[in-house]
Chains A and B, each alone.
Chain A
Amino acid sequence: MRLSWIELTDFRCHPSLRVEPDPGVNVFVGDNGSGKTSLLEAIGYLASLSSFRRSPDASLVRLGAEGTVVRGEFASATGAALVEVEIPVTGRRRVLLNGKRAAGRAAIAETVALVAFLPDDLDLVKRGPAYRREYLDDLAAQVWPAAGAEQAEYERAVTQRNALLRRDGRMSDPTTLDVLDERVAALGGAVLSRRLATAALVAPSVEALYAELGEVPARVSFSYGAAGLEEVPAGAGADELAELLAPALAAARRGDLERRTTTVGPHRDDVDLVLDDRDARTRASQGEQRSVALGLRLAAYRVLADRRATAPVLLLDDVFSELDARRSARLVERLPEGQVFVTSARGEEVPLVGRHWRVATGTVEPG
């Protein structure tokens, strides 16, 4: 899989920009604020329909412009995919895949695979469970295109339930709550089963990579605590989990009516990373945490490459400035053959052979 070309209009600081990258390694070099990460962000947006900086859509539009347009074409052995996104400052986003309206992320995920390494990837290990839930959900949505739609629907169902609780509190209409619970349980079961399957799928690769990156070999696993459930049966399917979530939601209702929020469901679950029997978040060194984080991203790449019969596009946003020489070298050794995009303030710090581009506001030139 590779990006053949990308065009931005009024995206972040760039009024207009077009790049036809190399099929191999591309290094975007530029000062802070030159818009090199924005260029990477635009590439990522075409694949995931969201910003890897977690920015809301409207903030991607250049200041003063009415909207932004990002267009790009991905090519793989199975054909080409033209993705076009139009984001107005107000109103709904429009996504076209090969000229046809695409309902959402699922249609894109079926054709485009991409993995991004970000400067704050250490958060995946060091910070709260939300980061690990998001990592697993993002990967699930790429492995099973339907999973992205399930996640969006689940989130919407929980938001609706919370809106009812917030507005009416203890006076909430019980029948409306009943049917919302039914939706939350059904969609929650689907999200949860995909998340558990993803954790099982990716953990062996993370463990292998952890050792390959030069750490003392250790067993690496996810420890999963589902909110409101005593335990999660191994290998449980969506329906089985939905049947467990339904009574858990019913049991939590009294408390939820008081707190005016939904306390049961995969949006509240605990996900820990465990090294042998140590919690990686609290009982691993910074270096070990760094290797686990790199392992998570590389493992995602391996899982996707394996599942999708095409190497994903790889984004490395300012990753090398954060790594010591040993981990940099080991990461580079493990980088796959496919197309790679790297950003860096100083091109010479990037230990990769490839085409260098100089990025400034509104321009990108071979450099």
Chain B
Amino acid sequence: MFEAPIQRLIDELSRLPGIGQKSAQRLAFHLLTVEEVDARRLAEAIVAMREQVRLCQRCFNVTDSAECSICRDLRRDSSLVCVVERAQDIVVVEKTGEFRGRYHVLGGAISPIEGIGPEQLRMRELVARTAAEGVKEVIVATNPTVEGDTTALYIARILKPLGVRVSRLASGLPVGGDLDYADEITLGRALSGRRDL
């Protein structure tokens, strides 16, 4: 529809979550009006992020070194692990200030509809860590959805035989939503009021 270079950018932008055709057009034409250095800085930031950011080898949080800052922090309780679906959920739990353990990022939740079973998630890594790091309690902070609940039950099934206490965030989180949408106070209460699975 537009000249090839512009259309190419519009196509790329519109593949981003939450960006439709119209927003993509607006962004593309905006980038055409800004100073060239500004546009270049954005492009470089994207490239640099992809080159420098990798996954923590212990918990699969995003980091710029072999282990993330949480895993490197020796003051944190290594016997306590909070399991989340995605790396950005860590930030949400951290904001509550209630949690002093470590994390484990699964990379999603069990959802056969989307072809995601335990094999597609970092379950095996979770089991291996539990034994290797002397984990005593796992708090499952997956989203309060059918998929998140199913995943929590699954984790309880595989970890309980290893003598690990497995608990789930207490209710009070909006059902069917994402962890993202819960405010800090609600999430903080859910953490302190977690129940055993």
A residues contacting B by CB (< 8 A) are: 66, 88, 91, 101, 103-104, 149, 152-153, 156-157, 159-161, 163-164, 167, 173, 175-176, 178-180, 182-183, 187
Chain B minimum-CB-distance residue to A173: B117
**Closest Cβ–Cβ distance, residue A42 to chain B (whole Å):** 24
B154 touches A163 (CB 8 A): no
**Option from A103, A173, A182 in Cβ contact (under 8 Å) with B177:** A103
Chain B minimum-CB-distance residue to A161: B112
**Closest Cβ–Cβ distance, residue B2 to chain A (whole Å):** 19
A66-B150 Cα distance, complex, nearest whole Å: 35
**Closest Cβ–Cβ distance, residue B44 to chain A (whole Å):** 31
B158 CB–A CB distance under 8 Å? yes
- Over the window 124-154 of chain B, the binary record of Cβ atoms lying under 8 Å from chain A Cβ atoms (1 yes, 0 no) is 0000000000000000000001110110011
B111 CB–A CB distance under 8 Å? yes
**Option from A101, A103, A160 in Cβ contact (under 8 Å) with B150:** A160
Interface-centre pick from A91, A160, A161, A187 (highest chain B CB count, 10 A): A160
B157 CB–A CB distance under 8 Å? yes
A161-B117 Cα distance, complex, nearest whole Å: 11
Q: Could you name 25 residue pairs across A and B whose Cβ atoms are closer than 8 Å? A: A91-B20, A103-B177, A153-B146, A153-B175, A157-B150, A159-B113, A160-B111, A160-B146, A160-B147, A163-B112, A163-B113, A173-B118, A176-B110, A176-B112, A176-B117, A176-B118, A176-B150, A178-B157, A179-B150, A179-B153, A179-B154, A183-B146, A183-B149, A183-B150, A183-B153
Count how many chain B residues have C-beta atoms less than 8 Å from C-beta atoms of the other chain. 22
Not counting A157-B150, A176-B110, a sample of 5 additional A-B residue pairs whose C-beta atoms are within 8 angstroms of each other reads: A91-B20, A103-B175, A104-B176, A164-B112, A182-B153
B115 CB–A CB distance under 8 Å? yes
**Closest Cβ–Cβ distance, residue A103 to chain B (whole Å):** 5
A152-B176 Cα distance, complex, nearest whole Å: 9
- The 8 A-B pairs with the shortest beta carbon distances in the complex, nearest first, are A164-B112, A163-B112, A179-B153, A156-B146, A163-B113, A179-B154, A157-B146, A103-B174
**Closest Cβ–Cβ distance, residue A30 to chain B (whole Å):** 34
**Option from A103, A167, A175 in Cβ contact (under 8 Å) with B157:** A175
**Closest Cβ–Cβ distance, residue B187 to chain A (whole Å):** 16
Q: Which residues of B lie under 8 Å from residue A173 when comparing CB positions?
A: 117-118
Q: Which residues of B lie under 8 Å from residue A178 when comparing CB positions?
A: 157
B176 touches A103 (CB 8 A): yes
A149-B157 Cα distance, complex, nearest whole Å: 26
**Option from A104, A159, A175 in Cβ contact (under 8 Å) with B118:** A175
B112 touches A160 (CB 8 A): yes
A79-B150 Cα distance, complex, nearest whole Å: 39
**Closest Cβ–Cβ distance, residue B116 to chain A (whole Å):** 10
- Over the window 156-195 of chain B, the binary record of Cβ atoms lying under 8 Å from chain A Cβ atoms (1 yes, 0 no) is 0110000000000000001111000100000000000000
Q: Which residues of A lie under 8 Å from residue B154 when comparing CB positions?
A: 175-176, 179
Chain B minimum-CB-distance residue to A102: B174
Q: Which residues of B lie under 8 Å from residue A167 when comparing CB positions?
A: 112, 115
**Closest Cβ–Cβ distance, residue A283 to chain B (whole Å):** 40
